[in-house]
Amino acid sequence: NAGVTQTPKFQVLKTGQSMTLQCAQDMNHEYMSWYRQDPGMGLRLIHYSVGAGITDQGEVPNGYNVSRSTTEDFPLRLLSAAPSQTSVYFCASSDGTSGRGPNPYNEQFFGPGTRLTVL
C-alpha cells in the first residue's frame, strides 16, 4: 500500500493564483481531512469528509474548497491564493467515522505534506 500520497511536494504561487493540492489514499478509509501547519500553532483542520459526496468545514476553511467524488481522492483547492496561506499542508485519512467526524479511537494516517509559498 502507498498509504496517503500528496502532490505536489513544493509549490510557489503568486497572490491571486489558484491551484489544487492533490491527496489520495489506498486504504479504503471513509474519513479524510486537510490540515495546515504553521509554526507554534500545531495542525489546524481546514476541511474534512466522512465519505464520498460528504464534506464539511473545519476550523480554518476560508479561502479553500474541497470535494470528494470518490473514496480515494480528496483534493484541496485554493481559490485565490493569499500570502496568509503560506503554510505546510497535510492530508490525512482514518478508518471509520463517528458520523460527523473521525472515529475517535482510530489512528490518523498522514501524507508527506505540501509546502506552499504565496508571494
Partner 1 sequence: AQSVTQLDSHVSVSEGTPVLLRCNYSSSYSPSLFWYVQHPNKGLQLLLKYTSAATLVKGINGFEAEFKKSETSFHLTKPSAHMSDAAEYFCVVSDLRDMRFGAGTRLTVKP
In the shown chain, the binding pattern of residues 1 to 40 toward partner 1, with x for contact by CB under 8 A and - for none, equals ---x------------------------------x----x
Taking CA atoms, 92 is separated from 24, 59, 64, 80, in Å, by: 9, 15, 16, 23
Q: How far is the CB of 103 from partner 1 (least distance, A)?
A: 9
Q: How many other CB atoms are there within 10 angstroms of residue 82's CB atom?
A: 14
**Residue count, binding to partner 1 (CB under 8 A):** 22
Characterize the bridge pairing of strands 109-110 and 87-94. Answer: antiparallel
Q: Which residues bind partner 1 (CB under 8 A)?
A: 4, 35, 40-45, 90, 92, 98, 100-102, 104-105, 107-108, 110-113
